[in-house]
A and B are shown apart, each in its own frame.
Chain A
Amino acid sequence: MADTTLIMYEAEFKQINEIIQRLNREANSKFVFLVDKNGQLISSAGDTQHIDTTSLASLTAGNIAATGGLAKILGEKEFSVLFHEGERDNIHISLIGDRVILVVVFDNRSSLGLVRLRVKKATDELLNIFNKLLQKVEKEPLAESPFAEITDEDIDSLFSE
């Protein structure tokens, strides 16, 4: 299941954005983002303007992957929550099911307890949506593919310099 292509549709994307925006507000965090376990940024909320979210996403996924590797060696299934404490900012990383990573960055205007509480609630909601999304992809995989009509010329045009 974890190896299928992740497909995001308009309606679910909107719901997901609403949830993480609310989480960002209620947790009093600086910003929140969702990353695919392979390092692709799915969405973000909050003040990410001066943040390199692509790099952040890739490193988060690497972080989770490395921690998962550690867990395996110790005979744990996984470590589902990671917390990094800095002088100014802190990062709370948690797994949503087996596919998606939720990251909350916060400073001293919030607290680890508050973030954990809000993350818990958001996790259930997000899990619900991602499960629905996967079911949807399984049910109607052939609908409106952007690739069906792709030609060699389309691909070559990407590389014409």
Chain B
Amino acid sequence: MTKVRKITYRDAVREALIEALERDPRVFLMGEDVGRYGGAYACSKGMLERFGEERIRDTPLSESGFVGAGIGAALGGMRPIVEVMTVNFSLLALDQIVNNAATLRHMSGGQFSVPIVIRMATGAGRQLAAQHSHSFECWYAHVPGIKVLAPATIADARGMLWPALLDPDPVIIFEHATLYNDEGEIAEEGDLSVDIERAATRRAGRDATVITYGGSVKKALAAAEMLADDGISCEVIDLRSLRPLDDETIIASVKRTHRAVIVDEGWRSGSLAAEISARITEQALYALDAPVARVCSVEVPIPYPRHLEIAATPQPESIAAAVKGVLRR
């Protein structure tokens, strides 16, 4: 019987960081306010005292500069974890991520690997308004040469970082901002590393497959509970890896349930949901009993007032409605 303890998502991230820095001297954390401030989301609280300024490195507000430096450091033999405070600010570093991190290997004919890990907070739900509420996972998932992860559970927040550091290629980890306070159980001891390529079925079901990631996973599970009261059995798949996508798990489920609903906090147009929908059409068309449905954010900049923010983003109610829609009930 594994002994478990209860921690928050934030604690899980911190423990993962600490484990990484302890295991490999080449690992260091770099980003805005990771040191003295303890991390914008308190993920690196106490780590400056423990590991020192060289390895817990506060940076100036220079996203392009320090992400590029992280890439250079990775080229130069280190294993940097670069924290970009949120995906919103990562736009300033897109050039470095896309034109350098993602392309260096192929562009150089395979001479270099870029073993960098970039962590970013993402998503809406805390009334931070348009410039602080984006979900651009799909932009990164679009680019060959990088890998994209979205830990939605405590276990994944704890266990994805080390395998990401072991990966010789750039890995971007998205932490949804509304998850940090979530509590959950984790094993007390043992190797807590998890697989970083496969999706996970969080809830088994018969009538419809709900496919989602990140902050929307718990909303999908809440929707599934609501639907169970109506006698509808939902299967909920947590993608976990957004690039590469785990087609196998997705398709096997849809072929069984015949109905798919994709929940994606990004805007529908050109979304990750659109990509998954296309793959389902390509690989499971003849099993579908209804068109693939998507529950995405309304195509507006995310607004500040609570009721509008809720209306603009996927919610358990809208997810449940979409499931009923594909069941034509």
The answer to whether A and B come from one shared complex is no
Interface residues of B (CB under 8 A from A): none
Interface, chain A (partner B; CB < 8 A): none
